[in-house]
A and B are shown apart, each in its own frame.
Chain A
Amino acid sequence: MDFTFEEQQVAFRDAVRKFLMVEAAPEMLREIWETESGRSKDLRAKLADQGITALSVPEEFGGIGLGDLDWVLINQELGYYAIPDSLSDTAYLAAWLLTRLPSDISLKKAWLPRIANGTARIAIGHPVNPFVSDAQLADLLLLWHDDEVHAVQRDQVKLSFNPSIEMSRRLYQVKWTPSDATRVAPARIGRELWEGVLNRAALAVSAQQLGLAQRMLDLGIDHSAQRKQFGKPIGSFQAVKHQLADVAVKIEFAKPVVFRAAHCLANNRPRAAVHVSHAKLAACEAAWASARRSMQVHGAMGYTWEADLQMFMKRAWALDAAWGDRAFHKTRVAQHIFAEGAALGPGETFN
């Protein structure tokens, strides 16, 4: 039993954190998001230099060959620095899915090295999401159709843009026609693959929500230490302190839930899907609580476009229903605990 990360994993996370602190400052992200595409080739290239895009790509295709536990740490950082969807979608989810496609080696050869070196963006369409993120920039779309996996080129789909309140999101309604030519996995294989994608995507969102929750808490702490009223920093008042302390409690108890989910997914454990749904619920609750409390601590400043809080708050709101809303994930947890003869109670935590 060891519930800690390996030193190497933590060291890599720390390196990514330091990099993003400099390269993904809020004012830079705002500039990028003001552009039409909302994405920066320059930033993606720098992220690739850090090795992030190569994380999940197998070594034979030019990657590092790491997995879910490494990504859970990196996705916390992507949340903390509000890095948009396409990075994790491409480098984590698409890399995972492409690697596991049945024997279509040309597809793997074509795309996995490009994922690793940061020159490809891949969008993923799954029926749990009504829209596809970043479809307009995607070099390739991996799309669900009756549990089959289809690989579709950008020029084979019709897109209509749906603006989101979250500035970094680029959501598209995708119209396309499935064919034998686009099918890369039949339903009997695709069903399990899509389940794997869904669980990893929900895990990625959970980890990002943890990072977002921590960022909004940190912004609330900074603001309440600097802002003075009645001659004192407002952070010295208990009414303010307790709001932020409650957020710290939620984050502290969501983290190990997310980490267990990552471990169970990485090791193909039978209850991994339940644990992922639990993780998503806990992390989203922490993130929403952090948004609300940090907003309150910021006062009217929190309601402005100018304050950076909005960047993280809106992302936390948007990601709540990404890859399964709360109803979806509660249903999955409920199916486990309300099943007849369910193994619950002390001693069942890691089974």
Chain B
Amino acid sequence: MRLEYTDRQQRFRKEVRAWLEQNVPKQPLRSFDTEEGFAEHRAWEGRLAGGHWSAVTWPREVGGRGCDLIEWLIFEEEYWRAGAPLRVNQNGIFLLAPTLMEYGTEEQKQRFLPRMATGEDTWAQGWSEPGAGSDMAAIRCKAVRDGDHYVISGQKTWSTRAVWADWLFGLFRTDANSVRHHGLTFILLPLNLPGITIRPVQQLNGETGFAEIFFDEVRVPVSNRLADEGAGWQVAMATAGFERGLMLRSPGRFQQTAKALVDLYLRHQARIDADPSVRDAVLQSWMGAEAYALATYRTACRLAKGGQIGAEASTNKIFWSELDLLMHETAMRILGARAELMPHAPDAGDIGRWLDGFLFAQAGPIYAGTNEIQRNIIAERMLGLPRS
């Protein structure tokens, strides 16, 4: 065990920090769930890519810089420390890309990855349907083979960022007679094809962060299929592994929030210590963020030595989503009667970001597989309990 950064890693951190200091926008960008904000975030992705920083773990040939997972963690720490913008193309870069690299053809990698790195193509996900939420194997949206095309009909829902995204990846039923996780295929498609209707859905904050997507005989070339026909479930599980596992939520995010929470508490300490449970919650928050960082480093080191992400990836998702809730609930309690103010309220000052974060934290235990599903996975695959 050696918990020190190498000279090379320290130099890398300095390089990241210097670039971010030069390039991170001084004014926060508008929300990427608005049209203007989406465009601003897309432009930021382009700027990141210009410095080869948009997808550091990818190979150089497709726009990355070949970083290992420790360097990725260092990059992320610096990114959050610098208060840089949220990643509008996260679905693509962190979730689809690792899947593409594992299952995609050379042609597909060359076609999709460089444009993803620059933000020219932004990606949405197509998993959930009205009848298939936690029970993802109940997917019905069908893709019928017609020569060298699939003809897609049906509906997807809760598709994050689909309102302004360019492309969608998801699971479709290619075998009409199949049931459950058989007969599903992983398909990539542009969202501007004829027959696609996108209906934005307003979220808690009033913005359209996700959408319903209707497919009416949408023709998609077979070359847009990832891996074999009928292999979609296996491919999707790999994506879900990345999502729950390492890359969806890097620890820097929560450590930055924990630090901000400590500052917030200290500024209001004279008043809020009347409720001693707040101080304890701040303490728990900081310890939780540290624990998450440590666990992630440990996993990264294990993977570097040839280990695999297993069912314990499900413990991550539960841990960070509950931590995020704790931190934002605590911040709301500290802010007291001002916590409810909208960010643009004249007397809100800079506290609005806590409300944004609080609202977003509510979704954490639901998206990327509800925490109840994660607990089932832990119980059955990690602890070996009998299936329900």
Q: Is the pair A221, B383 in contact by a Cβ cutoff of 8 Å? A: yes
- Given A4-B302, A337-B286: A263 and B1 within 8 A (CB)? yes
Cα of A253 to Cα of B294 in the assembled complex, Å: 8
Number of interface residues of A (CB under 8 A): 51
Interface-forming stretch among B5-13, B184-192, B204-212? B5-13
Q: Mark A216-256, 1 if CB is under 8 A from B, else 0.
A: 01000100110000001101111011101110110011111
Cα of A337 to Cα of B290 in the assembled complex, Å: 12
Q: Is the pair B385, A346 in contact by a Cβ cutoff of 8 Å? A: no
Q: Is the pair B78, A241 in contact by a Cβ cutoff of 8 Å? A: no
- Given A221-B383, A248-B383, A252-B312: A346 and B283 within 8 A (CB)? no
Cα of A168 to Cα of B125 in the assembled complex, Å: 56
- Check A278 for interface membership: any CB of B closer than 8 A: yes
Cα of A235 to Cα of B383 in the assembled complex, Å: 10
Q: Is the pair B383, A256 in contact by a Cβ cutoff of 8 Å? A: no
Cα of A281 to Cα of B291 in the assembled complex, Å: 12
Cα of A337 to Cα of B261 in the assembled complex, Å: 11
Distance (whole angstroms) from the CB of A296 to the closest CB of chain B: 15
Q: Is the pair A238, B286 in contact by a Cβ cutoff of 8 Å? A: no
- Check B64 for interface membership: any CB of A closer than 8 A: no
Q: Is the pair A249, B378 in contact by a Cβ cutoff of 8 Å? A: yes
Cα of A346 to Cα of B258 in the assembled complex, Å: 9
Distance (whole angstroms) from the CB of A115 to the closest CB of chain B: 25
Q: Is the pair A330, B283 in contact by a Cβ cutoff of 8 Å? A: yes
Q: Is the pair B385, A221 in contact by a Cβ cutoff of 8 Å? A: yes
Q: Is the pair A1, B4 in contact by a Cβ cutoff of 8 Å? A: yes
Partner of B386, one of A6, A233, A330, A337: A233
Partner of B297, one of A1, A5, A237, A337: A1
Distance (whole angstroms) from the CB of B346 to the closest CB of chain A: 30
- Given A238-B376, A281-B287, A282-B287: A257 and B386 within 8 A (CB)? no
- Check A334 for interface membership: any CB of B closer than 8 A: yes
Interface of B, secondary structure class, is helix
Q: Is the pair B291, A1 in contact by a Cβ cutoff of 8 Å? A: no
Distance (whole angstroms) from the CB of B299 to the closest CB of chain A: 9
- Check A159 for interface membership: any CB of B closer than 8 A: no
Cα of A64 to Cα of B60 in the assembled complex, Å: 48
Q: Mark B241-259, 1 if CB is under 8 A from A, else 0.
A: 0000000000110011011
- Check A347 for interface membership: any CB of B closer than 8 A: yes
Query: Among the interface residues B74, B265, B293, which one has the most CB atoms of the partner chain A within 10 A?
Result: B293
Q: Is the pair B283, A334 in contact by a Cβ cutoff of 8 Å? A: yes
Q: Is the pair A1, B2 in contact by a Cβ cutoff of 8 Å? A: yes
Of residues 35 through 66 on chain B, the ones whose CB sits less than 8 Å from some CB of chain A are: none
Sample of 11 A–B contacts (CB below 8 Å) = A3-B1, A4-B298, A5-B1, A217-B383, A241-B380, A248-B378, A252-B315, A256-B295, A256-B297, A264-B3, A345-B255
Q: Which B residues have a C-beta under 8 Å from some C-beta of A? A: 1-6, 9, 13, 70, 74, 76-78, 80-81, 251-252, 255-256, 258-259, 262, 265-266, 279-280, 282-283, 286-288, 290-295, 297-298, 300-302, 305, 312, 315, 318-319, 372, 374-376, 378-380, 382-388
